[in-house]
Chains A and B, each alone.
Chain A
Amino acid sequence: MSTTRTEPPSPSGADYLAMQASPEFAELRSRLRRFVFPTTAFFLIWYATYVLLGAFAHDFMATRIWGNINVGLLLGLGQFLTTFLITSIYVRFANRELDPRAEAIRNEMHWSQQ
């Protein structure tokens, strides 16, 4: 790879195997998975519910709440809201829980080469 910045020396296969088996890597992996898998399940189910209602529950979606604003419009705007909300919650989670752990592992693997 011919990038302009200096490349760190690449760790060996044994380094990767050891790191994969290490408790700090297991911790990083499980924190990531415990966040992203349930969150993905949540937004996919919520989106599927919305599309199913849009396809099969026209009368319910047409129920007026305020003026010409109906349930369908509010649920649709709700999809925007949850998308923005999940995005900002994930970013805060990743900055706080994932980045420091990933950086510690990067540094450790780098130093083990010296």
Chain B
Amino acid sequence: MSVLAAGTQTGNPIVNISIFVAFVIITLVIVIRAGRTNTNATEFFTAGHAFSGPQNGIAIAGDYLSAASFLGIAGAIAVYGYDGFLYSIGFLVAWLVALLLVAELLRNTGKFTMADVLSFRLRQRPVRLAAATSTMTVSLFYLLAQMAGAGGLVALLLDINGRFAQSIVIAVVGVLMIVYVLIGGMKGTTWVQIIKAVLLISGAAFMTVLVLAKFGLNFSEILGKAQEMVHGSTATGVAARDVLAPGARYGDSTTSKINLLSLGLALVLGTAGLPHVLMRFYTVPTAKEARRSVVWAISLIGAFYLFTLALGYGAAAIVGPDRILAAPGGQNSAAPLLAFELGGVILLGIISAVAFATILAVVAGLTITASASFAHDVYASVMKSHDVTEDEQVRVSRITAVALGVAAIALGILANGQNVAFLVALAFAVAASANLPTILYSLYWRRFNTRGALWSMYGGLISCIVLIVFSPAVSGSKSAMLPGVDFHWFPLSNPGIVSIPLAFLLGVVGTLTSRDNGDPVLNAEMEVRSLTGVGAEKATHH
């Protein structure tokens, strides 16, 4: 125990690696079996619409609960307390937007990608190109954040500290991801996500039970002990924190409070605009199954965030903030250290392997989404004017997946150790600004037209990226990506509070300033199909 207190490596890397290798072998076998049926585009991009609602709901949870939300949120609660919890709530409430407004109508209208829905009744080429641009931007930001985070996770979980060795592990992650997507297609990727979700959520549930049992099922006592440990901290600025109330992280100034609002807005509106989440709704046969998917996803994701609440405060109470902050991964090591305290080397090994598997499952989902969008929207529709077979689209998508994987490996190695955590928040902000307004307008507003869609999508995308480049997340602060220089003029690290209203407004202004009223027949077809599933579902015979 005294070795642990010094903040050196915890547990046994051999055990961690063995459990992770077992996960890789099992998932590879399943992916190869799933890959045998990848005979056409519908199979490759949507797994033949053959997953059930519950299966897809579990896969959505697997896709959504990234390493950032497991290690990051548990760690934030352990160190900052309440503000970490507040952060997790936005990720959950967001699913109501998907459930009530988006999932079923999208399933009824589209085929392979988000752009199918957006371009349904608008001018195909410009709208598809805009939707594909934003799909690939969101997916790349998200992918890069995951790959760059892999380096830190390797240091924490596998005790690999050399830069070169970490680069090799990042490359292994990238190659595995390419293999999953190439061989398994959407079906294989979905199974990887299902297995990972079951492991992650049951692991977190098991740890929660152990934490609660340790404190006689008295949650108030865990909170009291966590606060006591924080007050006893010797780290600068930690001891004074009130971890049971908001303010420890976002409470310093009015700017940081507005930053919190901006982040909250992006989280709650971004989820239903994430292309890799939207694409998952095509893996089920009907709108009703899409609804069941979201219900399962909400239950699992909600339960998981409740577990992280217990784990975060449990880590503060049992491990203490000083040891967490002194560990190799800093804040991110709260959950692994807690696992070691509760269940020794084996539980730590399982939790570490699950955290690592998490990266793999999430990057595979992002890659298939981005490569499908390139093949189906850019290559087939924009470059070749639909003059390509679906087999050709699958071939292009596979090539794109390899190219993306190689790029992700290279960028992940370059970004290793950089502070790119803001990329995930940025991906949500772009999804909420560039995608969600156009999705909602095209589903619910008959007058909406091509100009409105283009202004909203490009306006949302460009404003987000410009604001983030000139924000304190990139330059001019200690925690910036480029701490040495300062060219920032936008005060917030989260652009959402400006870019989201702007994109909604541009959609209205663009639409109303154009005389284009669209094609009434296509408008009618989209509206009837989106609400009833005509054309997407088999009618029942009486």
Contacts and interface: CB of A to CB of B under 8 A. Distances in A.
B521 A83 contact: no
A102 B535 contact: no
Contacts of A43: 93, 96
Residue picked from A1, A13, A54, A68, most chain B C-beta under 10 Å: A54
A53 to B, nearest CB: 8
Interface residues of A, number: 64
Nearest to B440: A40
Contacts of B390: 2
B298 A84 contact: yes
A76 B100 CA distance: 21
B212 to A, nearest CB: 15
Contacts of B528: 16, 19-20, 25, 105, 109
Contact of B220 (A54, A69, A72): A69
Contacts of A16: 521, 524-525, 528-529
A2 B40 contact: yes
Contacts of A58: 245-247, 251
A88 B100 CA distance: 11
A17 B42 contact: no
B538 A4 contact: no
A91 B258 CA distance: 35
Nearest to A56: B257
Contacts of A94: 104, 291
A55 B246 contact: yes
B264 A51 contact: yes
Given A40-B96, A54-B260, A20 B538 contact: no
A54 B86 CA distance: 8
Interface string B223-257: 11001000000000000001011110011000001
A56 B96 CA distance: 25
B180 interface: no
Interface string A13-53: 10011011000010011001101100110011001101111
A62 B82 CA distance: 10
Interface in A51-106: 51-56, 58, 61-62, 66-70, 72-73, 76, 79-80, 83-84, 86-88, 90-91, 94, 99, 102-103, 105-106
Contacts of B141: none
B534 A32 contact: no
A62 B531 contact: no
B264 A83 contact: no
B104 to A, nearest CB: 8
Interface string B494-538: 000000000000000000000000001101110111011111011
Contacts of B220: 66-69
B519 to A, nearest CB: 9
Contacts of A47: 89-90, 93, 264, 268
B261 interface: yes
Nearest to B111: A1
Query: Chain A binding site: helix, strand, loop or mixed by DSSP?
Result: helix
A20 B121 CA distance: 15
Nearest to A110: B539
B527 to A, nearest CB: 6
Given A72-B82, A90-B99, A94-B291, A62 B524 contact: no
A26 to B, nearest CB: 11
B86 A106 contact: no
Interface in B167-190: none
A76 B101 contact: no
A111 B540 CA distance: 10
B527 A20 contact: yes
Contacts of B227: 68
A4 B246 CA distance: 54
Given A55-B257, A84-B298, A107-B539, 8 more contacts: A3-B42, A16-B524, A17-B524, A51-B261, A61-B245, A83-B302, A106-B534, A110-B539
30 contacts: A2-B41, A5-B538, A11-B534, A13-B524, A19-B524, A19-B534, A28-B532, A44-B268, A51-B86, A55-B257, A61-B82, A67-B218, A67-B221, A68-B224, A73-B85, A73-B244, A76-B82, A76-B86, A80-B89, A80-B302, A80-B306, A86-B100, A87-B299, A88-B295, A106-B532, A106-B534, A106-B540, A107-B542, A109-B539, A110-B539
Interface of B: 40-42, 48-49, 82-83, 85-86, 89-90, 92-93, 95-97, 99-101, 104, 111, 218-221, 223-224, 227, 242, 244-247, 250-251, 257-258, 260-261, 264, 268, 287-288, 291, 294-295, 298-299, 302, 305-306, 390, 444, 520-521, 523-525, 527-529, 531-535, 537-540, 542
Q: Which 6 A-B residue pairings sit nearest by Cβ, starting from the closest? A: A67-B220, A62-B245, A110-B539, A13-B521, A68-B223, A20-B524
